[in-house]
Amino acid sequence: MKDFTTGNVARHIFNFTLPMLLGNVFQQLYNIVDSIIVGKVLGKEALASVGASFPIIFTLIALLIGIGSGFSIVISQFYGAKDIDRVKRSIDTMYIFLFISALIMSILGIYFSKDLFRLLQLPEELMPQAITYLNIYMSGMILFFGFNGTSSILRGLGDSKTPLYFLILSSILNIAFDLLFVMVFRWGIAGAAWATVLAQGIAFVSILLYLNNTHKIMKFSVAKLRFDTDLFKKSLKIGLPSGLQQTFVAVGMMTLLGIVNTFGTDVIAAYTAAGRIDSLAMMPAMNFAQALATFVGQNLGANKIDRVKKGFKATFIMSNLFCLIMSALIILFGSNLMRLFTTDPQVIEIGQNYLIIVSSFYLIFSSMFTIQGVLRGAGDTLIPMFITLFSLWIIRIPAAYFLSNEIGSDGIWWSIPMGWSIGMTCSYIYYRMGRWKTKAVTNQ
């Protein structure tokens, strides 16, 4: 656990970000290796099927992830205020909520999988593999939420190293199971899905056993879990706007995938492969923002506004430096990176165009996430939700639809930085208004 209310601001944020970044790099590397194995061994149709599943998965879990982030902010603020009893009750309440919700999500995802793919106009030849992958993946939701919920709690307490170790374990197991199930046992796309479920399960059980034996606050016991209605309401007040925001973003991603699907298997496969590279490149900005949210939560809980402002400036500089490096690497080596996934020249060309267009605007993405990191850490999530919805549904999706009809699939890629630009501008204007300074739950 780490107290961010004293000490060097930039060093605190960087040291907290680094383990999260390494962990997510391992996770994204797993996603990349998984896609490489699927694409090279099973073909571009299987690669496209996996890619078509992820927007649906994200849509089904987005609301719960957002609400879970509300719990993390509440935990960080109470920890900053040194109110350990409420920290423990918030943790219990979060677990109960996530486990029940995960069970419901699994049932809904499996039952409606075929209907969802038809809604997205997925090409018929991809349907069997996509349904198989999605159904197996959704069966492991309680393991996914258990592991990621535990990691979120630890980060709220200022501990980003412990989740790193178990995320590395999960990623290594995932790759090993992928190789075993897909290349040795020849289970096809089902093997890739079972590899993920099994790796998540082992990581979740392992981190619980470790924390029960070593941690001062985190002692997990199903029999001793207590649901606190008041803390649930506080967390819901903060997390629900984030959850709704992520849900509408996820539905937007599904809508964009529906546009992508109309261009056929080559564009879907390119979108999947380039998206894996893109996700890895954007990790530094997202992790710096996540670290800043915890930093802001603790310091607002301790009523230290000046440290919050210093944290914002330090994060802005560090995050943008990382993004400049990532932009340069992807612009220079985009085609080589695409060749890791497929040898199909058409897929490589389409994916390279995506990477060049999108990576040229990483600075805007990084700036937007840094600003929103302050707002999330303060618990001010309602207006950022509306900003996200506006930039996605009023700018990005209409632009993708219109431009794709005019210039083809490149029009979809150009809509992405257009949405970021509007989101960043509106977020900065709202940050300057200063309302976030009054939103801490410890002041309510």
- Kindly write down the DSSP assignment for every residue of 277-332, as one continuous string: HHHHHHHHHHHHHHHHHHHHHHHHHTT-HHHHHHHHHHHHHHHHHHHHHHHHHHHH
Q: Is the pLDDT of residue 444 over 60?
A: no
According to the model, what pLDDT value does residue 332 have?
93
Q: How confident is the model at residue 191 (pLDDT cuts 50, 70, 90)?
A: very high
**Structural element, H or E, at residue 381:** none
Q: How confident is the model at residue 43 (pLDDT cuts 50, 70, 90)?
A: confident
According to the model, what pLDDT value does residue 223 have?
82
The structure tokens 């049932």 sit at 107
pLDDT tens-digit readout, 275-308 = 889 988 998 999 999 899 889 888 887 888 889 8
Instruction: Report the alpha-carbon distance of residue 380 to residue 245 in Å, rounded.
Output: 13
Q: Is the pLDDT of residue 415 over 60?
A: yes
pLDDT above 70 coverage of the chain, percent: 98
Q: Is the pLDDT of residue 32 over 80?
A: no
According to the model, what pLDDT value does residue 409 have?
93
Q: Give the best-scoring range by mean pLDDT among 73-77, 199-203, 219-223.
A: 199-203
Average pLDDT rounded to a whole number, residues 425-430:
94
Kindly report the length of the chain. 444
Q: What is the mean pLDDT of the chain?
A: 89
Q: How confident is the model at residue 427 (pLDDT cuts 50, 70, 90)?
A: very high
Average pLDDT rounded to a whole number, residues 136-148:
93
CA proximity to 218, closest of 139, 305, 157, 308: 157
Q: Is the pLDDT of residue 441 over 80?
A: no
Q: Which residues contact 380 (CB under 8 A, 6 or more apart)?
A: 435, 436, 439
Q: How confident is the model at residue 443 (pLDDT cuts 50, 70, 90)?
A: low
CA proximity to 9, closest of 315, 432, 319, 301: 315
Q: Which residues contact 15 (CB under 8 A, 6 or more apart)?
A: none
Which residue intervals of 339-436 are DSSP H helices? 345-359, 362-378, 382-389, 397-407, 410-433
What b/e sequence results for 416-443 when a residue is b if at least 16 CB atoms lie within 10 Å of its CB, and e otherwise?
bbbbbbbbbebbeebbeeeebbebbbbe
| Higher per-residue confidence, 265 vs 440 | 265
End-to-end CA distance of the chain: 25
Q: For residue 157, give the amino acid letter.
A: L
Q: Is the pLDDT of residue 28 over 60?
A: yes
